[in-house]
Amino acid sequence: MKYFLLALIITITTFAQQEKFIGEAKPGTIIFAKADSIKQILFNDKPILFNKDGNFIFGFDKEDEGEFELKIIKKNKKEVTYKYNLTKIEYDKQELSLSKKMVNPPKKFLSRIKKESVQLKNARKKLLHNTKDFYLSGFSFPVKNVRITSQFGLNRILNGQQKNFHNGIDFGGSEGDSIFAIADGIVQFVGKNFYYNGNFILVDHGQGLNSIYLHLSKILVKNNQTVKKGELIGLMGSTGRATGPHLHLGVQWFNKRIDPMTVLNLNLE
C-alpha cells in the first residue's frame, strides 16, 4: 500500500514514529492510515478500530465542521495527536418529480417504513467490532459504463418539498445492467422490496467502512457471503423510490456519510 505523509499538527512527547495517511480531511471524506505499536486510537475521544498491522480508517460526515482530533496512543504510552479543522461545504440543489406516495407515504405504509429502518440500523450495528481490513483490496467502480446522474450531497427538493440531502451517487444505466462490489467485503445485509431502498445489498469492508447498493432488480448474493472487488453482486433496476433504472451507491464509515467518489478515486495499491 502506498501512503503520503500528513503534516503533524501537534506531537506529544515524541517524534520517533511517523504515521502514514491517504486521503483529504474535509466533510464527506475518509482517510486510510497506518501506524506502528498502537495501543489505542481515539477520534474525538472515542476509540476506533485498528488491526494487528496498524491499519485503520477514520472519516468525516457530509455535515461535519469545526475541529476534530485524532490521538494515537503507543504501546510505550507515548502519544501522537493530529488536529483537523473542517470548513462546511455548500452543495447544489436538485429538483425531482416523483409519485406522491414516494414523497409523502400514506399512513398505511408508515409502520412498514419504520420497521425497515430499524432492520437496516440493526445490520449496521454489527459493523462496530469488525477489525478486518477488507478495504485494502482497493476500490473499483460498481458499473461497467460510468454515467453519473446525481452527485453526492445535493439538497433534494421532491415535488416542491425540501427533503434530505442525497447521501450517495446515482449511476445511470439500463434494467439488468451488472452491479459489482466496489471492494472486498462480507455481505452484511440483503434487503428485499423495501419501501424506499427497493432491493439492496449492504457490504461490510471492515473497521466500520461499508457500501450499499440500492434499487436492484435482482440480488445475486446472500447474507454473510464473502465478495471480492469487482465481483458481480446484483443487477440494476428501479425498485423502491426511483424514477427509472439506476444504481444508488452509498458509502459510510459507521454513521458518517461519505462521498463515494472520494473512495473510488483513491489508489491503495
Q: Which of 180, 168, 210 is nearest to 57 (CA)?
A: 210
According to the model, what pLDDT value does residue 58 have? 97
Residue 56 parent element (H or E): strand 55-59
The pTM assigned to this predicted structure is 0.89
> What contacts 265, CB < 8 A, 6 or more positions away?
none
pLDDT band (50, 70, 90) for residue 94: low
Query: How many whole angstroms separate alpha carbon 139 and alpha carbon 158?
Result: 32
Residue 114 parent element (H or E): helix 110-125
Rg (CA), the chain: 19
Domains within the chain, CATH numbers bracketed: 10-86 (2.60.40), 93-264 (2.70.70.10)
β-partners of residue 258 are 251
Query: How many whole angstroms separate alpha carbon 205 and alpha carbon 104?
Result: 34
Please check the confidence at residue 255 and state whether its pLDDT lies above 60.
Answer: yes
Q: What is the mean pLDDT of residues 70-84?
A: 94
According to the model, what pLDDT value does residue 28 have? 94
Least confident of 99-113, 117-131, 187-201: 99-113
Q: What is the mean pLDDT of residues 172-201?
A: 97
Q: What is the mean pLDDT of residues 186-214?
A: 96
How far is the first Cα of the chain from the last one, in angstroms, to the nearest whole number?
A: 5
What is the percentage of the chain residues whose pLDDT exceeds 90? 71
Per-residue pLDDT reduced to its tens digit, 234-243:
999 999 988 8
According to the model, what pLDDT value does residue 81 have? 95
Instruction: Return the residue matching grid coordinates 491499519.
Output: 55
